[in-house]
Amino acid sequence: MKKITKQTYLDWYKDMLFWRKFEDKLASVYIQQKVRGFLHLYNGQEAILAGALHAMDLTKDKMITAYRNHVQPIGMGEDPKKVMAELFGKVTGTSKGMGGSMHIFSKEFRFYGGHGIVGGQIPLGAGLAFADKYKGSDAVTLTCFGDGAARQGSLHEAFNMAMLWKLPVIFIVENNGYAMGTSVGRTANHEDIWKLGLGYEMPCGPVDAMNPIKVAEAVDEAIQRARRGDGPTFLEMKTYRYRGHSMSDAQHYRTKDEVEEYKKIDPITQVKDVILEKNYATEEEISAIDKEVKKMVLECEKFAEESPFPETQQMYDMVYEQEDYPFIS
């Protein structure tokens, strides 16, 4: 695995803080009805993305996930201004304002969504990996989903085929404890989701996903296995979300004390503590990063606010691309 250095920690701190503040801004403008529909935030789960990106080769590896999907394309290289514009429904967005919150997509940076169907992306991720194997590429696909999606039948079909064909895919369940408002303990007679891989003799295991180092180590091992042609891995990222399932979630299923307890192991705070302990940066330098992040978020908001909405005609152009399509009168 690439060495974890002083710069790695500084990058992790800035990136995770930016992702957190970017989504905090989204929560704020959602209340103002500038972002419509549903809004599912990643607050608390940032170490999964930070660690995974450290292990990935961003020139070829791919990622696909569910609808908690705003910060992943930013991490993969997409312009955050375009991501925020997409959430605002503006023409300058990643899908020209046609996808919105749950369907962020960036072909250029190999981020394949953003899927609203629970578990729908699991076989799609296996399909992306199949394409790479078929074409002779050594690229790897990270297929992420929530603990609720782990109960979908499509997971078992994808697991079976991925093992049968030794596909270069890493299945990652982001277990934040609750499938919407239902705790993991109430969705099955076991709470170790990673053990689902055992039925397919798939390498699998749990990961402390509040720590980006632990995530990076686990994902790196899985990527190396996939690149060797040894097939898939199933990782259970044990994490926590500080906000509700979506902005409409009243969160009656958990206590404020529980949330505060998990905030004591906030991945951003953990990284910041290491930076200070190892003298990678002073409090003043960290404060400067905080100010820069705040400025970046405001620039994203300004870009989204000032961008135009798409013309109505765009909807028809994107649905029917073929000019001489014969089946429309």
Question: pLDDT-derived band of residue 329, with 50, 70 and 90 as boundaries?
Answer: low
Contact 90/304 with Cβ under 8 angstroms? Answer: yes
Q: Which of 71-75, 135-139, 188-192, 304-308 has the lowest mean pLDDT?
A: 188-192
pLDDT (tens digit, 9 = 90+) per residue, 121-167?
999 999 999 999 999 999 999 999 999 999 999 999 999 999 999 99
Would you say 62 and 223 are in contact if contact means Cβ atoms under 8 Å apart? no
Q: 231 exposed, middle or buried (CB, 10 Å; 0-12, 13-18, 19+)? A: buried
DSSP 30-67: HHTTSS-S-----TT-HHHHHHHHHHS-TTT-EEE--S
pTM of full prediction above 0.85: yes
Domain ranges of the chain: 6-246+257-306
In CATH terms, is domain 6-246+257-306 a member of 3.40.50.300? Answer: no
**Residue pair 86/94 in contact by the 8 Å Cβ criterion:** yes
**What is the CB neighbour count within 10 angstroms for residue 309?**
11
